[in-house]
Amino acid sequence: MEHVSEKRFPLNAKDYKLYEEVGEGVSATVYRALCVPLNEIIAIKVLDLEKCNNDLDGIRREVQTMTLIDHPNVLQAHCSFTAGHSLWVVMPYMAGGSCLHIMKSGHSEGFEEPVIATLLREVLKALVYLHAHGHIHRDVKAGNILIDSNGSVKLADFGVSACMFDTGDRQRSRNTFVGTPCWMAPEVMQQLHGYDFKADIWSFGITALELAHGHAPFSKYPPMKVLLMTLQNAPPGLDYERDKRFSKSFKELVATCLVKDPKKRPSSEKLLKHSFFKHARSNDYLAKTILDGLAPLGDRFRTLKAKEADLLVQNKALYGDKEQLSQELPSMSRLDRFLVSADWEDHISYIAQNMLSRIISDHCPLGLDSGGLCRGKSHFKFENMWLKAESFVDK
C-alpha cells in the first residue's frame, strides 16, 4: 500500500522522527514530525488499522485520493506506508491548526465577519475543485479547516470522502451513512434516495454558523437527537435580531446553503460568486488577526486535551455510569434516557444506521417535509417516530 507524490518522501518509519501530538481521532493520532532525509517538518497521521471500521481497500482508496489532490486549498498527502499494524500518512504541517482549536483557544464566541468570509472563500475554492473532480468531501466543518502559520487555508480529512467517478457516472448518488451529525445534510440522514455534491453545501452552511458562533447548531445535544432535530425542525440560520453584528449578505449566504431540498441549494461554483465574499481579505490578514499571540499548536492541543479530560471526570462525578444516569432521570422516556447516556458509537451503530432510515423508509417513502410530516401521508406525524424508536430500543 504505497502512494508517492512528486516529491520523493521516504517510505520507511525509520526515516521520520515523531514529535508531539497535534491531533487525534477515534482510530488515528496526528504528530508533528521531522522527515530526516529531507530535513523538513511535516505532519504524520498514524492510523491504527485494527481500530478502523473501513476495510483495507477502502482506506487505500482514501489515501490514494489524498496523494492525487493538487489544489492549494486542499490538504495533500505526500506519501503513505504501513508500519506494523498502523498506516502512516505523511502530510504538510499546518502550524496554525484547525479553526475549531483556534476558536477553543481564543475565539469561543466565533470569529468576526471578515475572518469568516476569508476562511469560507478558501474552503469554497477547495469544494469547487473537489466537486469538479467528482469528490464529495462529506465532513466539512471547522475541525477540518486547517491554517498554516502564513494564514493559508486548507480543507483536510478525507477519512470519509467519497469519489463519485468510480463507475464513470458523474451524477451517481452515494448511499452510505457517514459524516458528523451536527453538519450532516438531511438527505444523508434519511438515506432514501442517496445524495450528491449538494450535501457538502449544507455542511458548508452549518460550518458558517459554527465559525460565527463558536459552535455548530444543536451541538449540545446527543447525536441521535441531532439527527431527529435536523429532520424535524426548520433549518438553522443567523437570526436577524440576535446576530445584528453580521451583514445581510452573510445571513443570505447561510440561508441559501441551508435549504432542506438539495436541488434548491447552489453549486459550490455558483456560491463562490456570492456578494458576501467581497468581505474576504488576504491570508496575511488571517495570520495577523487570529494566529498572532497563539501558543504553538502542540501546546494548545495538550491544553485542550487536558480540559476535555477534566470535563469528562466532572461528568462522571455528576452522572456516574449510564445506569445511574437513567435512574436520576426517572421522568424521561426510555428512549430519551438512552439518547442522553449513549455515546457516539452507540448512536451510530445501534440506532442511526439500523433504525432511523428503516423507520423513515417504512412509513415515509417520499421523505419528510420541513414540518416533520411524511410527504403524501400527512396523518403520520414525526412524533410517531419516537414511539417506533422506543419500541426498537426495547428490543
Binding site for ATP, by residue number, is 45
Question: Which residues partner with 155 through β-bridges?
Answer: 74, 145
CA distances from residue 286 to 62, 153, 250 in whole angstroms, order as listed: 30, 9, 18
What's the farthest any 2 CA atoms get from each other in the chain?
68
Contact 225, 209 (CB under 8 A): no
Q: How far apart are CA 49 and CA 262, in angstroms?
A: 35
Which positions are annotated as active-site residues? 139
Quick one: which of 86, 60, 389 has its CA closest to 225?
389
C-alpha cell at 147: 491554517
Binding site listing: 45
What's the per-residue H, E or C state across 34-88?
Answer: EECCCCEEEEEEEEECCCCCCCHHHHHHHHHHHHHCCCCCECCCCEEEEECCEEE
Quick one: which of 209, 197, 83 has its CA closest to 142?
209
Q: How far apart are CA 393 and CA 388, in angstroms?
A: 9
Q: How far apart are CA 30 and CA 47, in angstroms?
A: 9
